[in-house]
A = this chain, B = another copy of it.
Amino acid sequence: MDISKLIANTKLDTSSPYYLQIASLIKAKIDDGSLTVGERLPAERELALLFQVSRTTAINAYRHLEKDGYISIKNGSGTYVSDRYILGNRSNYEMPWPQLLKPYMQSSMSSLMSELMVSNVLEDKISLDAGMPDPNFYPVHTFSKLYLDNLSALDPKDFGHIPIHGYEPLRNRITQMLALEGIRCHADEVVILSGSQQGLYLTARVLIEPGDYVIIQEPTYLGAIQVFQSLGARVLSLPQREHFPLEILEDYLARYRPKLMYCIPTFQNPNGAIIKAGERKQLIQLSARYRLAILEDDPYSSIYYEDIPPMSLKSLDDYGGVIYLSTFSKTLMPGLRLGYMVAHPSLINRIILEKQYVDLHSNNISQWLLDLFIKEGHLGEHLTKIRGIYKNRRDVMADALNLSFKSKLSFHIPQGGFYIWCRINESLSSKKLLQEALKTGVSFIPGEAFYAAPGEDREFRLCFSQHDEKVISEGINRLEKAMEKLKKKPFSIPKREIKPMI
């Protein structure tokens, strides 16, 4: 609004200096919203005329307002009402956002992980943390070629809204692909997801109410634990054993009546464990008896380095209780943001309703390209290629660990997936090791990140997929240096006393 109208009937008095009175008046008009952010104010000369004061008084009024953050004076361009909110100054009214937000269940790892991210200072740091494929092998060029070759056959409608379930040809393609893996399903039982994380979220959203029990295998994928906890679930952990702990599971089933078990049966993240074929059958029989829903997360089973892993739980599912989840983020590239879920139609129909709220449907371009990619046989080729590459990297990392650490670490060589799960044989903390490691230029994920409740802190996860052999060796080298440094530090038992806060 024009300032001259705002001050039409204003008279200055002698109670305080004129420049302060003018400043107060303008402040009030900014605070009440009559003058808004970005609005241009009169030039000093005009302001002086408006209030019939000297130009010096006008200049002082503006300087005072600028000091308080109400306006900004841009030489040569004019004086403007400042975005006080951005500059840190506040209007009389300000939204109390933190008080308005719903309570948030924060996992104890979240802060550690953020610290870890911020600590990434060394320029040549070697990341053995994130579980991602090597970007050098993302099949970007094949996707580009498919784009070019098929563009003319494209129906513009494919770039409009498509069904929530996903792009139909891709759903059919996945159904065919799964049939070869022993999973027989209709395309209607398949939903394309914006990454498999979305399947975790949606499944939890439609099933979990606060206080419900969910079973996980410990250690397991952090993102799953977080989703369950954020929805108020109580998480029961199955410990890792040589044999799948069916008796503990049965005890949990009888005692707590859990709604869901989350499970990575093949090349578990982080420890590479596999549930054996016989145990899978027993697990399904037990789950069927108790009508336990199983969320089978299967991102790694096609990235095997030795024998072909056992058939999925879904392929054995004869009671309709297994929800099968997979992704193309580990096999192709995370940026596709595509995964899929296969489950009983009753569940799928409800998942669809929830997905509609979340994003209507997943990205069309990715779905169209992925369908072409699978159709032309590139997926099989690509898998063969990366299995060779990653197997080699696994072996190099395992050799380097044996050579550098000898008996200081224990680990199993995983038969697939991206990770070597290590246990420190001495009394050293993996979180403290990480602090030293970041200084020597290598990172990994401390074991606590994979547990619902923190335990002893002597495990950690190394990822071997992201870097070539030379970098992996150098990374393990740096890790060993970090451990040597840590051992030389005076050992201090952390204080366990927690004093009342009064």
- List residues of A whose CB falls within 8 A of some B CB: 30, 32-33, 36-38, 83-86, 91, 93-98, 100-102, 104, 130, 132, 135-136, 138, 140, 144, 147-148, 151, 154-162, 182, 184-186, 194-195, 197-198, 200-201, 205-209, 223, 226-227, 230, 259, 281, 284-285, 288-289, 291, 293, 315-321, 333-337, 344, 346-347, 350, 353, 356-366, 369
Contacts and interface: CB of A to CB of B under 8 A. Distances in A.
Given A194-B359, A319-B91, A353 B161 contact: no
Nearest to A289: B93
B160 A347 contact: no
B161 A335 contact: yes
A161 B209 CA distance: 30
List 3 A-B pairs, minimum CB-CB distance, nearest first. A335-B364, A159-B335, A97-B346
Contacts of A321: 95
A275 to B, nearest CB: 15
Contacts of A38: 182, 184, 315
A288 B33 contact: yes
Copies of this chain held together in the complex: 2
Nearest to A85: B320
B259 A357 contact: no
A37 B322 CA distance: 14
20 contacts: A30-B318, A32-B285, A33-B316, A94-B320, A96-B291, A97-B344, A101-B347, A102-B206, A135-B155, A138-B160, A144-B148, A159-B333, A160-B335, A230-B357, A334-B364, A335-B365, A336-B365, A337-B364, A359-B359, A365-B366
Contacts of A104: 350, 353
Contacts of A161: 130, 132, 334-335
Max count, chain B CB within 10 A of own CB: residue among A318, A347, A366: A318
A95 B365 contact: no
Contact of A160 (B156, B333, B357): B333
Nearest to A350: B101
Max count, chain B CB within 10 A of own CB: residue among A30, A144, A198, A360: A360
Contact of A184 (B83, B315, B317, B344): B83
Given A197-B360, A291-B93, A206 B101 contact: yes
Given A140-B159, A363-B336, A86 B184 contact: yes
A158 B335 contact: yes
B194 A318 contact: no
Contact of A156 (B37, B140, B147, B363): B140
Given A38-B315, A336-B364, A337-B359, 20 more contacts: A33-B288, A38-B184, A84-B318, A85-B320, A93-B289, A93-B291, A100-B293, A101-B207, A102-B205, A135-B156, A138-B156, A140-B156, A147-B147, A161-B335, A194-B194, A201-B358, A227-B357, A335-B365, A337-B362, A358-B358
Contacts of A98: 346
Contacts of A356: 197, 223
Contacts of A151: 140, 144
Given A36-B318, A95-B319, A96-B291, A86 B186 contact: yes
B184 A320 contact: no
A30 B365 CA distance: 43
A101 to B, nearest CB: 5
A281 B36 contact: yes
A424 to B, nearest CB: 28
A431 to B, nearest CB: 22
Given A160-B138, A357-B226, A358-B358, A37 B281 contact: no
Contacts of A194: 194, 358-359, 362-363
Max count, chain B CB within 10 A of own CB: residue among A132, A333, A358: A358
Max count, chain B CB within 10 A of own CB: residue among A33, A158, A289, A344: A33
Contact of A334 (B32, B160, B358): B160
Nearest to A189: B86
